A and B are shown apart, each in its own frame.
Chain A
Amino acid sequence: MLKLRIIPTLLYKNMTLVKGVGFDSWRRVGSVIQAIKVYNMRMVDELIFVDITATRENRKPDFELVDDFADECFMPLTVGGGVNDIEDVRRLLQVGADKVAINSSAITNPGLVKEAACEFGSQCVVISIDCKKNNGKYEVYSHSGTQPTGLDMVEHAVEMEISGAGEILLTSIELDGTMKGYDLEMIDQVVKAVNIPVIASGGAGNYEHMYELVSKTNVDALASASIYHFTEQTPLEAKLFLKKKGINVRL
């Protein structure tokens, strides 16, 4: 049986690992290479790397930096931030990304998703969607949560699946970094609307939050950052907790 994946997210600015609350108030939380080494040793299921300032600063991903990170990663690796065109996708895959996450460019240039899926296969195209609830509806935001797009979350997710996306990384902007628990309704809406895997992100503060989401939705993976940076909780303990509750995880 396919296992639920528990994924630490590493957000970075240059070589520094950072974490914010609600996509703001960024704090330094350590070195990326150090974190990768620890996660390697602990055999985590997968890692997600996001360069949080690339798109806002209108620059390309730092391929050499990703190359250095990837050389240390003997686990599956998704890389995002600043992915603008097909060459960015190609270079990231070349330097060691297994999957590439596209966020803002999937909105401004939907053709990119189709092109990347045709060239490299859907399985390596992750569409990252950041959302906030406005007037009862979930709206998609781009540029690291700073720009409202007017797009409806479910419609956008379905359109991305049709364009060839292989996976969706869904983040609640409001709950991100709060450790108050996941937005179950948000995640459930997307999980029900698409047939590709969905990675839920934003809000996990303890293992019970994870169990609650997994028991109430068909989500495929849980990505979190704060819980691992700011508490003593670990991906391995999360899996042990979930296993006891009858969830299929890899141990």
Chain B
Amino acid sequence: MNNVIVIDYDMGNTDSILRAIEECGGNPVLSNKKSDLDDASHIILPGVGSFQKAMENINSLEIIDSLEEQIFTFKVPFLGICLGMQLMATQGAENGVTNGLNWINGNVVKFQQTEKKERIPHIGWNEIHLKEPNPLFEGIESGKDFYFVNSFHFECTDKSNELSKTPYCGEFVSAVNKDNLYGVQFHPEKSQKFGFKIIKNFLAL
């Protein structure tokens, strides 16, 4: 039985994620305790809210060392969702510059309109274009729509960490990958059929 730890740091829609993991056959545990992290088969960092507040909360829990041990030493598969993906960056620019977890080099910056009809936040269903096949997107063709709701996006320093792109305000990185670290800017837990496929693929890693 898998043991999916969903990090509890008071940043939003954990309930939806727990429900989606259950529906996808996983065994989710909402926790911020080191003892639980030590038994994790998979780790998910959800997140809705501001980068600065999220880092403040996660720092105050004093679990970053344990997280890094699981992820880098024991290679536990990790998935950051929405803000959870953005927190893996070096820095975020929401409410002033804040240091991120710095697991994937890059910065999180605000969308800039490229045409008047583009509205910010970017809310709704938009397609993803895969740069190359990846186990997280197994069985999902490029061009499928996922649900996004965000004002900021991740700019990767190393382009090889970019997993998919989405056309909006030009084009932005909608999924990242580096070894066992994955991040998706969209909400798989709210993206119905293909979103659930992503969660199932992650649980199979």
Q: How far is the CB of B157 from chain A (nearest CB, A)?
A: 24
| Contact (Cβ within 8 A) B48 A76 | no
Q: How far, in whole Å, are A94 and B187 apart by their CA atoms in the complex?
A: 16
Q: How far is the CB of A242 from chain B (nearest CB, A)?
A: 14
Q: How large is the interface on B (under 10, 10 to 19, 20 to 34, 35 or more residues)?
A: 35 or more
User: What residues on A are CB-neighbors of B117 within 8 Å?
Assistant: 218
| Contact (Cβ within 8 A) A43 B168 | no
Stretch at the interface among A95-103, A136-144, A175-183, A223-231: A95-103
Q: How far is the CB of A48 from chain B (nearest CB, A)?
A: 13
User: What residues on B are CB-neighbors of A97 within 8 Å?
Assistant: 13
Q: How far is the CB of A143 from chain B (nearest CB, A)?
A: 27
Q: How far is the CB of B88 from chain A (nearest CB, A)?
A: 17
User: What residues on B are CB-neighbors of A124 within 8 Å?
Assistant: 12, 48-49, 149
Residue of B nearest to A249 (CB): B125
| Contact (Cβ within 8 A) B147 A93 | no
| Contact (Cβ within 8 A) B123 A71 | no
Interface centre among B19, B121, B122 (most CB of A within 10 A): B121
| Contact (Cβ within 8 A) B124 A45 | yes
Residue of A nearest to B118 (CB): A2
Q: How far, in whole Å, are A118 and B19 apart by their CA atoms in the complex?
A: 27
**Cross-interface CB contact of A196 among B20, B121, B150, B189, cutoff 8 Å:** B121
| Contact (Cβ within 8 A) B15 A121 | no
Q: How far is the CB of A170 from chain B (nearest CB, A)?
A: 14
User: What residues on A are CB-neighbors of B193 within 8 Å?
Assistant: 43
| 7 pairs from A and B in contact (CB 8 Å cutoff) | A2-B124, A43-B193, A119-B53, A123-B151, A166-B149, A197-B121, A250-B125
Interface residues of B (CB under 8 A from A): 12-16, 19-20, 23, 48-50, 53, 83, 94-95, 113, 116-127, 145, 147, 149-151, 167-168, 187, 189-190, 192-193, 195-196
